[in-house]
Structure 1
Amino acid sequence: MINRERFEGIAAFVETAEAGSFTRAAARLGLTRSAVGKSIARLEARLAVRLFNRTTRSLSLTDEGARFRESCLRILAELDAAEDSLAARRAEPAGLVRIDLPVLFGRQWVVPLLLELSAQHPGLEFDVNFSNRVADLTAEGIDLGVRIGALDDAAGLIARRLGTQTTILCAARTYLDRHGRPGGIEDLAGHAFILERARGGSAPWRLTDTSGKARNVTVRGRLAFDRSDAIADAVLAGHGIGRLPGWLVATALRAGTIETVLPGFSSDEMPIHALWPAPRALPLKVRVVVDALVARFQPVAPWDDPGMHHGP
Structure 2
Amino acid sequence: MEQLRDVPIFVEAAEAGSFSQAAERLHLTRSAVAKAIGRMEARLGTRLFHRTTRRQSLTEEGRFFYERCLKAVAEIRAGEALIESGRREVRGRLRVSMPVVLGRSCIAPILACLMREHPGLELDLSFSDRVVDLVEEGFDLCIRNGVLKDEPELMTRRILFQRMTVCAAPSYLAARGVPRRLEDLAAHDGLLYARGPAVRSWIFPTPAEPMRAVIPRTRLRVDDLEALLDAACAGLGLAWLPCWMVRTAVAEGRLVQVMADVESIAFSSHAVWLKTPVMLPKLRIAIDRLAADLPARVGALVDPACAA
For normalisation by structure 2, the TM-score amounts to 0.61
State the identity %: 34
Aligned residues between the structures: 228
Contact 2:180 2:260 in 1 (8 A): no
2:276 counterpart of 1:279? yes
Task: Give 2:172's aligned amino acid.
Answer: Y
Partner of 1:302 in structure 2?
298
Structure 1 unaligned regions, length at least 5? 1-74, 88-92
RMSD: 3.3
Aligned to 2:170, which of 169, 173, 180? 173
Please state how far the C-alpha of 1:161 moved relative to its aligned partner.
0.7
- Taking the aligned partners of 2:198 and 2:153, their CA distance within structure 1 comes to 35
Q: What secondary structure does 1:222 align onto? A: strand
Q: Which has the higher helix share?
A: 2
2:84 aligned residue: 82
1:148 paired residue number: 145
Alignment of 1:188 with 2:177, yes or no, is no
Tell me whether 214-223 or 145-154 shows the greater mean CA deviation. 214-223
1:212-250 Cα offsets, whole Å, 9 max, x none, are 655454522332323332221110112221122334334
Q: Contact 1:256 / 1:309 at 8 angstroms: preserved in 2?
A: no
CA change 1:166–1:278 in 2 (3 A) is: same
| Corresponding position of 2:250 | 253
Letter in 2 for 1:112: P
Q: Is the partner of 2:187 in helix, strand or coil? A: coil
3-state DSSP of counterpart to 1:242: strand
When the two structures are superposed, what TM-score results if normalisation uses the length of structure 1?
0.61
Q: What residue in structure 1 maps to residue 94 of structure 2?
A: 97
* Structure 2 unaligned blocks of 5 or more: 1-76
> How far apart are 1:104 and its partner, in Å?
2.4
Which residue matches 2:127?
130
1:126 to partner: Cα distance: 0.3
Structure ID, larger Rg: 2
How far apart in 2 are the matches of 1:254 and 1:101? 27
Equivalent of 1:118, from 115, 119, 144?
Answer: 115
- Name the SS of the counterpart of 1:248 in structure 2: helix
Q: State the one-letter code of the partner of 2:298.
A: P
Asked if residue 106 in structure 1 is aligned to residue 103 in structure 2, the reply is yes
Alignment partner for residue 289 of structure 1, among 286, 289, 299?
A: 286
Deviation string 1:25-57 (CA, Å, 9 cap, x unpaired) is xxxxxxxxxxxxxxxxxxxxxxxxxxxxxxxxx
CA distance in 2, matches of 1:247, 1:306: 4
Aligned pairs (5 A) from 1:217-256: 217=214, 219-256=216-253
